[in-house]
Amino acid sequence: DAVEVLAAMVDKGCLPNETSYTLLIQGIGFAGWRNEAMELANSLVNLDAISENAFKRLCKIFPVFDAHKELALSSE
């Protein structure tokens, strides 16, 4: 549902911001797709679509994925 809402926003000309992306990632993670959520977070932090601070907060929510955190922060 979260992805559909984001797609509808974009279709109507409302571009996502960091808050939109963060909520999307959280929705995906809490729906049971934590690996996919953190892969998306890693991609978005590398694209500067979300900040490092937002990424760190997501890593605290989904602490199993510290490897993603290390990958993203080591690529700077």
Lowest mean pLDDT among 23-32, 41-50, 60-69: 60-69
Q: What is the pTM of this model?
A: 0.73
22 close to 58: Cβ distance less than 8 angstroms: yes
Average predicted confidence (pLDDT) for the chain? 83
Report domain extents, the chain. 2-74
Diameter of the chain measured on Cα atoms: 37
The tokens of 56 are what?
A: 């760190």
In sequence order, which ranges of the chain are alpha helices (DSSP H)?
2-11, 18-30, 34-46, 52-61, 66-74
